[in-house]
Amino acid sequence: MQLELSEEDRAFREEMRDFFTTKVPEEIRDAVKDGQELSKEQIVASQQALNAAGLAVPHWPEQYGGRGWSDLRRHLWNEEMQRAFVPAPLAFNTSMIGPVLAQFGSEELKERFMAPTANLDVWWSQGFSEPDAGSDLASLRTTAVRDGDDWIVNGQKTWTTLGQYGDWIFTLVRTNPDVKKQAGISMLLIDMTSPGLEVRPIELIDGGHEVNEVWFSDVRVPGANLVGEVDGGWTIAKFLLGNERVGVAPVAATKRNLALAKDRYAERVAADPLLAARVAELENELLALELTALRVVAHSEGGEPHPASSVLKLKGTELQQAVSELAVDLAGPASLASGADDGSALPGFARRATPTYLNLRKASIYGGSNEVQRQIISKTILGL
């Protein structure tokens, strides 16, 4: 296995590094560096800067803006983007519904949505999770019933991330209650300004408003907004969730955050052997994970994720949480001042350490819980 980059790939990496550090607005990258919550306008501005340079959706088919890169170059693009504190393109648009429409959408839907989705002119929300369903996605109860050419949708979705910004929502609905539960599901695209659709905020443990409930009360949806075939939604959902899991372990961002913490508290780390050992252990584990990520990229074929990507998700989220815990410990009592405003004498990165730590508890759950990843590893890698 060859882990050293070729001269061409090194030049590509330098090209990405130059773009991300000079063409994306500095105030947005500074906000990411300081751990601030980005506004909708900042997320849109960042993605539109990438899209103008053809760097927002390099993994899409080329007729819709993809670049036809190798898996290694997509890996380098992602690594350099994280290293430069550039927000990743909105996953709901670029990793979820965009590839789904390219694969399963009608020509009408592709013509209508592909370009606005890449440029974030349309902000998509994900309507998958439901109350009481847990990880059993097929147990969803939101229904869609035919009424002439339209569908009438009733039910509730939950944990809809950033749904308060959403223009449209891609939604799994039950269209046939009389068959095996996986066989009676369809996907609809729903305008979030439709009469009968309501978004209600959920306050999180860190005090933020990141997720929502979405309620549907006799929401009328045109039949043309169906993706794929009636009752074919389970196949689409598995395709979408497979894409969601790729890149879910932000190795470069975690390395970046560890380096920042080490630099900000350099004197404390140097004076405390136990802290220094803790930092060194995390650095070594991240280096090992980075090499594993390169091995996964080297063995991926035809855009399909290697089974070892489950190792990346499992270990990547564990290290992500460990680094956020270290940041809280280094900030000490200052980490409790999360309610202080920007006029506080305490640095912003210290005040935001605890909210970040609390928020990242979700990392081992989303994108396929770590328990699910352990099952995949045991069956497909270890053969147990």
Active site residue 244: yes
Q: What residue type is 101 in one-letter code?
A: L
Nearest alpha-carbon partner for 194 in 230, 235, 231, 150: 150
DSSP bridge partners of 238: none
For residue 145, CA distances in Å to 154, 169, 173, 215 come to: 9, 18, 9, 16
Give the C-alpha separation, 219 to 168, whole Å. Answer: 13
Taking the alpha carbons at both ends of the chain, their separation in whole angstroms is: 26
Taken in order 54, 58, 63, 65, is the CA torsion positive or negative? negative
> For residue 18, what are its two tokens?
């130059």
Phi, psi at 33, each rounded to 5°:
-60, -35
* Catalytic, out of 244, 283, 290, 325: 244
For residue 194, CA distances in Å to 116, 120, 229 come to: 19, 20, 23
Determine the Cα–Cα distance for residues 57 and 229; give it in Å rounded to an integer. Answer: 26
Number of H helices and E strands in the chain, helices first, is 15, 8
- Bin 382: left if φ > 0, else alpha if -120 < ψ < 50, else beta: alpha
Let me know: does 245 contact 109? Beta carbons within 8 Å. no
- Euclidean distance between CA atoms 322 and 253, whole angstroms: 13
Torsion sign over Cα 10, 16, 17, 19: positive
> In a 3-state reduction of DSSP, which class is residue 36?
coil
User: Coil, strand, or helix at residue 202?
Assistant: strand
What does residue 132 show for φ and ψ, rounded to 5 degrees?
70, -5
The answer to whether the beta carbons of residues 276 and 213 sit under 8 Å apart is no
Tell me which residues are annotated as active site: 244
